[in-house]
């Protein structure tokens, strides 16, 4: 473990959180959530292509299994970007970012279903606590007068599920090729998948709009630089510690929403957010210790 690894992971998480806040600004300016996701992925693709060109050896690009798992990872990251930004439009940056952070819970549930991991009382208790946190955060018990729609809650959770799909796809793809090759295929998949869903006329308006710097920033920081920094930093950082550092993302996004976008959270929502963040982080630490034993 090195301090540089922690700094890299922290920087990536900060950039991801910042991209959520910037997406909130673009959505408030009437840009489509899928279009924002497309540009985030397209700019990210340029960065990982450069990374791949700098480290072309042992890429594994000739292996069909690498392509299969990388495409699955790409569909996951496409869903993650798209559902996350759509959830922001239907709820708030703080709520959407925290719901997305539930991804490790979906990883566990999928692992249980596929018998890749054995369920324990601690893990089930963590899942139950996160569910309580989601209820408090989204206030689904009080939908009347609630600015958070059920669609916003559903897409926020789907963004977390999509992130879990990306994690699984990326994990299995690493057996057959390099991280930069996997990300290249994944982002290419994202661009193709979202490219058929966006409005070409609206997409063509972005370069000449006053908001083009925000699109550039969200792509450079949230799509390209952050993923590269995170993967490099993860090599030097224990997974348990990385899970703690990763809480910077939802915290950054939430603070951005409250300070810059003027979003307001009730005390019960803050409690729910803290319950989710603390539980997921503790679960990451527990899993790291369990793996090392």
Under a CB-based contact definition with an 8 Å cutoff, are residues 275 and 136 in contact?
yes
Domain ranges of the chain: 3-292
Tens of pLDDT, residue by residue over 242-275, are 777 888 888 899 889 888 988 888 888 889 889 8
Tens of pLDDT, residue by residue over 172-207, are 999 999 999 999 999 999 999 999 999 999 999 999
Residue 140 has pLDDT above 80, yes or no: no
Count of beta carbons in the 10 Å neighbourhood of residue 205: 14
Give the DSSP letter string of 95-142.
HHHHHHTTHHHHHHHHHHHTTSS---HHHHHHHHHHHHHHHHHHTGGG
pLDDT (0 to 100) of residue 109: 83
Mean pLDDT of the region 145-152:
75
**Residue 225 gets which letter from DSSP?**
I
pLDDT (0 to 100) of residue 23: 95
Under a CB-based contact definition with an 8 Å cutoff, are residues 109 and 127 in contact?
yes
Under a CB-based contact definition with an 8 Å cutoff, are residues 130 and 273 in contact?
no
Q: Which residues contact 180 (CB under 8 A, 6 or more apart)?
A: 48, 51, 52, 55, 59, 228
Question: From CA 14, how far away is CA 20, in angstroms rounded?
Answer: 10
Residue 146 has pLDDT above 80, yes or no: no
CA 170 to chain centre: 13
pLDDT (0 to 100) of residue 2: 56
Give the DSSP letter string of 69-101.
HHHHHHHHHHHHHHHHHHHHHHS-HHHHHHHHT
pLDDT (0 to 100) of residue 291: 58
Q: What percent of the chain has pLDDT over 70?
A: 93
Q: State phi, psi for 77 to the nearest 5 degrees.
A: -70, -30
pTM of the model: 0.88
């Amino acid at each position: 473990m090195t301090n540089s690894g922690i700094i890299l992971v922290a920087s990536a998480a900060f950039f991801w959180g910042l991209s959520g806040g910037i997406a909130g600004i673009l959505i408030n300016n009437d840009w489509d959530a899928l279009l924002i996701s497309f540009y985030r992925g397209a700019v990210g693709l340029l960065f990982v292509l450069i990374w791949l060109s700098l480290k072309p050896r042992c890429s594994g690009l000739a292996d069909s299994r690498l392509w299969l798992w990388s495409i699955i990872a790409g569909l996951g990251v496409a869903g993650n970007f798209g559902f996350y930004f759509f959830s922001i439009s239907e709820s708030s940056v703080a709520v959407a970012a925290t719901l997305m952070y539930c991804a490790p819970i979906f990883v566990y549930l999928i692992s249980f279903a596929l018998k890749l991991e054995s369920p324990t009382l601690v893990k089930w208790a963590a899942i139950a606590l996160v569910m309580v946190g989601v209820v408090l955060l989204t206030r689904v018990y009080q939908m009347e007068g609630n600015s958070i729609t059920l669609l916003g809650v559903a897409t926020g959770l789907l963004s977390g599920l999509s992130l879990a799909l990306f994690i699984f796809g990326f994990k299995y793809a690493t057996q057959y090729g390099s991280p930069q090759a996997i990300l290249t295929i994944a982002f290419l998949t994202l661009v193709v998948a979202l490219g058929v869903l966006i409005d070409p006329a609206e997409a063509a308006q972005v370069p000449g709009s006053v908001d083009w710097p925000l699109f550039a920033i969200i792509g450079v920081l949230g799509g390209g630089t952050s993923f590269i920094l995170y993967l490099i930093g993860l090599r030097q950082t224990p997974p348990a510690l990385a899970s703690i550092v990763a809480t910077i993302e939802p915290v950054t996004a939430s603070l951005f929403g409250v300070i810059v976008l003027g979003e307001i959270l009730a005390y019960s929502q803050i409690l729910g957010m803290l319950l989710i963040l603390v539980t997921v982080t503790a679960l990451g630490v527990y899993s790291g210790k369990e793996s090392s034993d």
